[in-house]
Amino acid sequence: MEFNASAANLLNIKVDSLILLTGSQLQNTAKLLDDSLNGAIQALIKSGDFSGKLATSCILHTQGKASKRIILIGTDGAATTQKMIKVMESAASLLRKTPSQKALWIGDSFNDDHEWQASIMARSVQTSSYKYNGSSKPSKPNKLKSVTYWCAKKSQTVSAAKGLVYGNAVGNGMNTARGLADLPANFCTPNYLASQAKKLSKGQAKVTTNILKEADMKALGMGSLLSVSAGSVEPGNLIVMSYQGAPKTAKPVVLVGKAVTFDTGGISLKGGRGMDEMKFDMCGGASVFGVISALIDTQLPINVVGIVPAVENMPAGNATKPGDVVTSMSGQTIEVLNTDAEGRLILCDALTYAARFKPDTVIDIATLTGAVIGALGKVTAGLLSNDDELAGQLLSGGTLSGDRAWRLPLWEEYDKQLKSNFADMANIGGEAGTITAACFLARFTRDYKWAHLDIAGTAWHSGPAKGATGRPVPMLMEYLRTKASS
């Protein structure tokens, strides 16, 4: 896909489709286009064929003008970032449904922030092309070849072009995450993820990949992580991908992504209903792959280490049992009261390992608790952090990218619930499951700035549209982009 920005005379650019986002009151470019079509757009509004209401649409054939068709998308009531993104996503998916190869996107519909609008446009065009195609045959090539983002002034094309590169990278990163997450667990094993990490870094000067096998993890004392993979015939891996976009001396942001390639619950076996969706229990890890891919595409001047603990959680004769006590790499002991609370058991050792990179900041991303769905539904990720500034930066990254989170507290009244009679802590608490899970992790992250994103509600859709969403790649990239430019 080719993206470019242009301020050339709009009536002369030959394309298959022109995308016009407009409300029922035609303004600026919409007016100009309407004039060139002798009032054809006004006529559609008058007749009721196009209402201009939020994300509604209508296609107008132009019979011999430079653009063969005009795709109208309604913007009335698009007063929030979230709604503007919705409009652009509708436009991109409708564009994909037409037989267009070349498209022109009118970029003056919302505001003067062309970098942002162009970025959401490119991201939407990329994510609208995603199609699950397993691990085998490549999908049919897309018809759409190029999209030009049009703005009225030549000076605006500079920021628009920046937004296009960034949005394209974010969209591709989301698709990378979705592709891995949608892949069934009989293909997407911890070893498969390790091979994909090596593939991602191959030929990339800025990226190095290192895989720690179970023997390496044993030598490091990762007894907690290894207690989760104990019952599986698939060996666990600790995948480490380092992206170096800044001088070596710059402290990295470390991203730690939970990758339980399948979560049966272990001996604390889950119920059968919907268990297939536990192939998505590696979405945190998949989002780290998505971010590394987007960093390669954007070449952001920042250092980022992606750590992905990858295991399968299975019941077996040699699986960990409720009541077993394990010793984490930090030296703290854990009573495993429930083997289905396995995410925190792999994350705690990965978080201890993260300290060796002398991080500026550590962010973990995990489909950690069903309880976060009870608290925030499938709309918003849960955010918990030991640092107010970091929490604020992630929240605003989420707002700007339309990939939002909401903060929950990490107070000691909750932490108390982790008390154990037989170890330093138990792996489950009582009420407020999302918070007690984060309190558990907080016991391993005292030495650095840290945030935890619980994405159990947002990482995938259930029902007829079942599939991974690619979240929270947009939020994380927005955070990193802002950090890299400050």
H/E element, 238: strand 237-244
CB of 277 to Zn ion, least distance (A): 11
Alpha helices, DSSP H, located in 204-313: 214-220, 223-229, 283-298
Indicate which of Zn ion, Mn ion, ligand BES, none lies near residue 433 (CB less than 5 to 8 Å, by partner kind). Answer: ligand BES
Indicate which of Mn ion, ligand BES, Zn ion, none lies near residue 338 (CB less than 5 to 8 Å, by partner kind). Answer: ligand BES
Q: Which of residues 271-290 bind ligand BES (CB under 6 A)?
A: 281
Indicate which of ligand BES, Mn ion, Zn ion, none lies near residue 22 (CB less than 5 to 8 Å, by partner kind). Answer: none
9-26 burial string, b = 16+ CB within 10 Å, else e? ebeeeebbbbbbbbbeeb
Contact (Cβ atoms closer than 8 angstroms) between residue 382 and residue 406: yes
Question: Burial level of 42, CB count in 10 A (0-12/13-18/19+)?
Answer: middle
Q: Which of residues 404-463 bind ligand BES (CB under 6 A)?
A: 428, 433, 456
First-to-last alpha carbon distance for the chain, in angstroms, is 30
Q: Which is nearer to Zn ion, 344 or 443 (CB)?
A: 344
CB of 265 to Zn ion, least distance (A): 8
Residue entry with tokens 């009679």? 421
> Which residues, 6 or more positions from 264, have their beta carbon under 8 angstroms from its beta carbon?
270, 275, 278, 313, 314, 315
- Cβ atoms within 10 Å of 265's Cβ, excluding its own: 18
H/E element, 385: strand 381-385
Cα–Cα dist 326/22, whole Å: 60
CB of 340 to Mn ion, least distance (A): 4
Q: According to CB under 6 A, which one of 341, 347, 425, 435 is a site residue for ligand BES?
A: 341
CB of 416 to Mn ion, least distance (A): 23
Residue 365: closest CA among 312, 414, 404, 307: 307
Q: Which of residues 239-278 bind Mn ion (CB under 5 A)?
A: 263
Cα–Cα dist 263/92, whole Å: 35
Q: Which is nearer to Zn ion, 343 or 470 (CB)?
A: 343
| Beta pairing, strands 102-106 & 15-22 | parallel
Residue 338 is a binding residue for ligand BES (CB under 6 A)? yes
Cα–Cα dist 207/200, whole Å: 8
Q: Which of residues 353-382 bind ligand BES (CB under 6 A)?
A: 367-371
Indicate which of Zn ion, ligand BES, Mn ion, none lies near residue 369 (CB less than 5 to 8 Å, by partner kind). Answer: ligand BES
Residue 340 is a binding residue for Mn ion (CB under 5 A)? yes
H/E element, 344: helix 343-354
Catalytic center residues = 270, 344
Number of residues near Mn ion (by CB under 5 A):
3
Indicate which of Mn ion, ligand BES, Zn ion, none lies near residue 410 (CB less than 5 to 8 Å, by partner kind). Answer: none
CB of 253 to ligand BES, least distance (A): 25
Tokens representing 59?
A: 């296609």
Helix (H, G, I), strand (E, B) or coil at 334: strand
Residue 291's Cβ-side half-sphere holds a number of Cα atoms within 13 Å equal to 35
For Mn ion, the nearest residue by Cβ is 340
Tokens representing 23?
A: 């409300």
Q: Taking contact as CB under 5 A, which single stretch among the options 118-126, 303-311, 340-348, 473-481 is the one that binds Mn ion?
A: 340-348
Residue 41 is a binding residue for ligand BES (CB under 6 A)? no
The contact set with Zn ion (CB under 5 A) reads: 260, 263, 281, 343
Indicate which of Mn ion, ligand BES, Zn ion, none lies near residue 194 (CB less than 5 to 8 Å, by partner kind). Answer: none
Tokens representing 332?
A: 């703290």
Indicate which of Zn ion, Mn ion, ligand BES, none lies near residue 370 (CB less than 5 to 8 Å, by partner kind). Answer: ligand BES
Alpha helices, DSSP H, located in 253-342: 283-298
Residue 337 is a binding residue for ligand BES (CB under 6 A)? no
Q: Which is nearer to ligand BES, 432 or 480 (CB)?
A: 432
Q: Which is nearer to Mn ion, 305 or 426 (CB)?
A: 426
CB of 459 to ligand BES, least distance (A): 8
CB of 464 to ligand BES, least distance (A): 18
Q: Which is nearer to ligand BES, 221 or 322 (CB)?
A: 322
CB of 341 to Zn ion, least distance (A): 8
Region of 209 on the Ramachandran plot (φ > 0 left; ψ -120 to 50 alpha; else beta): beta
Provide the binding-site residues for ligand BES, judged by CB under 6 A.
263, 281, 338, 340-343, 367-371, 428, 433, 456
Provide the binding-site residues for Mn ion, judged by CB under 5 A.
263, 340, 342
